[in-house]
């Protein structure tokens, strides 16, 4: 399967002066993010770290085009995602962005195989069943293809979610606290698997986490505090 290529040789993800404010009931405003500015190159692994309430989840939603900023821009593969309408952003996500969520986000009425197949089929990819089976085998779940999420452990559900994300061959993979609902041993296994799959696929990986161990496994970290960038390790 061929990955969607970037339109230019620039960064996979470029964030410029990004900000988000929301209105309050008393007529005032709350600033959630301000002056966020960084870029991520092809194949990089980057952690966005910070305490609860620092703006990490809001930032992730903006990077994916699921929310609209109050200021600034986000470019994925050279495309300003907020120059697109909602349908255009959805199409770009389907072509270039993969997701791994803390809560797995598997559809309970679908088997493991069907959960991985569904985005492939929606994207019109040929050989969806074979591709899904291959990735589930890669994460060690070949014997669980016909199992529903309720019959899988948390670690197994997260491995299905990884297979679903990587099967789409995204240029950019966004992971939101991917080990947050797992015990320490299972979480470490999932961390190892994420980075192993990422090396093989050559995907650009951005992890949002408060876990310093997980962050340390990335090539560099960007730290948020109260909606501002306070630290950026490595070149950006």
Residues 5-26, mean pLDDT to the nearest whole number = 83
Residue 236, pLDDT score: 44
Number of domains in the chain: 1
d(CA 41, CA 58): 22
Task: Compute φ and ψ for 58, nearest 5 degrees.
Answer: -60, -45
Q: Does the residue 49 lie in any domain?
A: yes
Task: Compute φ and ψ for 196, nearest 5 degrees.
Answer: -65, -50
Pair 5, 76: CB distance under 8 Å: no
pLDDT tens digits, 178-203: 888 888 888 888 889 989 988 888 89
d(CA 226, CA 17): 16
Which residue segment(s) compose the domain that 148 sits in? 13-232
d(CA 42, CA 77): 10
6 pLDDT band, cuts 50/70/90, is very low
pTM as predicted: 0.86
d(CA 201, CA 230): 31
Task: Between 143 and 232, name the one with better pLDDT.
Answer: 143
Residues 3-12, mean pLDDT to the nearest whole number = 59
Residues 8-28, mean pLDDT to the nearest whole number = 89
Q: Does the residue 142 lie in any domain?
A: yes
Task: Between 21 and 8, name the one with better pLDDT.
Answer: 21
Q: Does the residue 164 lie in any domain?
A: yes
Q: Which residues contact 151 (CB under 8 A, 6 or more apart)?
A: none
Q: Does the residue 118 lie in any domain?
A: yes
Residue 234, pLDDT score: 57
Q: Does the residue 2 lie in any domain?
A: no
Residues 115-139, mean pLDDT to the nearest whole number = 95
Q: Does the residue 185 lie in any domain?
A: yes
Residue 9, pLDDT score: 64
pLDDT tens digits, 149-162: 999 999 999 999 99
Q: What is the mean pLDDT of the chain?
A: 90
d(CA 93, CA 91): 5
Report the CATH number that the domain containing residue 65 is assigned in CATH: 3.40.50.300
Q: Does the residue 4 lie in any domain?
A: no
Residues 135-155, mean pLDDT to the nearest whole number = 95
pLDDT tens digits, 27-83: 889 999 999 999 999 999 999 998 888 999 899 999 999 999 999 999 999 999 999
Q: Does the residue 149 lie in any domain?
A: yes
């Amino acid at each position: 399967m061929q990955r969607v290529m970037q339109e230019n040789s620039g960064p996979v993800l470029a964030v410029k002066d990004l900000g988000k404010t929301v209105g309050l009931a008393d007529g005032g405003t709350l600033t959630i993010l301000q002056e966020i500015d960084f870029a991520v190159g092809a194949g990089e692994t980057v952690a966005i770290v910070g305490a609860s309430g620092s703006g990490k989840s809001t930032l992730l939603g903006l990077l994916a085009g699921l929310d609209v900023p109050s200021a600034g821009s986000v470019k994925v593969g050279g495309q300003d995602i907020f120059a697109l309408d909602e349908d255009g952003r959805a199409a770009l996500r389907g072509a270039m962005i993969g997701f791994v969520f803390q809560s797995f986000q598997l559809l309970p009425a679908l088997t493991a195989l069907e959960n991985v197949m569904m985005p492939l089929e929606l994207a019109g990819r040929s050989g969806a069943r074979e591709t899904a089976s291959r990735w589930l085998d890669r994460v060690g779940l070949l014997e669980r293809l016909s199992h529903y999420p309720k019959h899988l452990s948390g670690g197994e559900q997260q491995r299905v979610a990884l297979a679903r994300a990587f099967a789409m061959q995204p240029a950019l993979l966004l992971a939101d606290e991917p080990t947050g609902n797992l015990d320490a041993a299972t979480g470490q296994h999932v961390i190892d698997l994420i980075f192993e799959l990422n090396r093989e696929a050559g995907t650009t990986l951005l992890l949002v986490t408060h876990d310093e161990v997980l962050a340390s496994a990335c090539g560099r970290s960007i730290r948020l505090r109260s909606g501002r960038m306070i630290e950026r390790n490595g070149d950006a």
